[in-house]
């Protein structure tokens, strides 16, 4: 296995690298198109705005190779902004197009519901299909750590991998083929998050041509 971590010049790169190293993996950072060569698994950590993150990706010429990776259904784990960018657009950055791999829009939590925004802290993520390999060895209602003011709203109900409630019910994860992405931060979610990352790393795959 050769694991890559997208480095787009922002986000929560170090925390994810430390978590992966704890699991016994030495990942490679991916900051140029040629860094995709030889990888079997790819992760995309993140913190930051939708628009700035897309601009950083474009400046590093990472958009097209990442889209190619995702369309080929190679193993991918997106986290936070690495989840939101999979969609077409976001209310956070009007006029900015996302990667467009998944249909839907990233929405802001509605005001006036006596909710603190951002949604910050521990919350449950209820799997929609607990038999999926990514949820192997999990309790019925695992807790993960969240920090976000926006959440994706997929058009396709069947890709929703888990649901979370914070004033509104939202898709806290999606899964489609070898693509998996979460709004929560597994690298900050202690043993529960490490278990999720380990399950992702165990996805069998051949090295892409």
Active site residue 2: no
Average pLDDT over residues 84-103: 97
User: Pick the catalytic residue: 80, 92, 119, 148?
Assistant: 80
The domain limits of the chain are 3-201
In three-state form (DSSP H/G/I as H, E/B as E, the rest C), the secondary structure along 117-129 is CCEEEEEECEECC
Percent of the chain with pLDDT over 70: 97
**Which of 3-7, 123-127, 135-139, 153-157 is predicted least confidently?**
135-139
Domain 3-201 has CATH 3.40.50.880: yes
Strands 41-44 and 3-6: parallel
Q: Which residue has the higher pLDDT, 162 or 48?
A: 162
Q: What is the mean pLDDT of the chain?
A: 94
Q: Provide the pLDDT for residue 209.
A: 46
The active-site residue, picked from 41, 74, 119, 185, is 185
Which residue in 56, 2, 9 sits closest to 25, CA to CA?
A: 2
- Cis amide leading into 118 (omega within 30): yes
Do residues 3 and 41 touch, judged by C-beta distance below 8 A? Answer: yes
Q: How far is CA 187 from each of CA 17, 29, 43, 190, rounded to the nearest angstrom?
A: 9, 16, 12, 7
| Share of residues in the chain with pLDDT > 90 (%) | 86
Output the pTM of the full model: 0.94
What pLDDT shows up at residue 133?
93
Active-site residue, 80 included: yes
Instruction: State phi, psi for 33 to the nearest 5 degrees.
Output: -55, -40
| Residue 183 Cα distances to 8, 87, 147, angstroms | 18, 13, 8
Helices (H), the chain: 13-22, 50-59, 63-71, 81-84, 190-201
Tokens describing residue 160:
């929703």
Q: Inform me whether the pLDDT recorded for 92 exceeds 50.
A: yes
CA angle 148, 12, 7 (to 5 degrees): 125
């Amino acid at each position: 296995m050769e694991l890559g971590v997208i480095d787009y010049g922002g986000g929560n790169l170090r925390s994810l690298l430390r978590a992966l190293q704890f699991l016994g993996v030495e990942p490679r950072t991916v900051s140029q198109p040629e860094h995709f060569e030889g990888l079997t698994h790819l992760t995309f950590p993140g913190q930051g705005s939708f628009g700035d993150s897309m601009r950083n990706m474009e400046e590093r010429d990472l958009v097209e190779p990442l889209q190619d990776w995702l369309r080929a259904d190679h193993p991918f784990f997106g986290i936070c902004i690495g989840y939101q960018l999979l969609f077409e657009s976001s209310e956070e950055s009007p006029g900015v197009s996302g990667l467009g791999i998944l249909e839907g829009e990233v929405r802001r939590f509605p005001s006036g519901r006596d909710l603190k925004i951002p949604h910050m802290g521990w919350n449950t993520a209820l799997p929609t299909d607990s038999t999926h390999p990514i949820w192997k060895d999990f309790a019925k209602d695992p807790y993960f750590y969240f920090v976000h003011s926006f959440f994706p709203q997929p058009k396709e109900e069947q890709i929703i991998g888990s649901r979370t409630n914070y004033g509104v019910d939202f898709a806290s994860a999606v899964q489609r083929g070898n693509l998996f992405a979460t709004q929560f931060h597994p690298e900050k979610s202690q043993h529960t998050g490490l278990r999720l990352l380990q399950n992702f790393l165990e996805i069998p795959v051949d090295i892409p041509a």
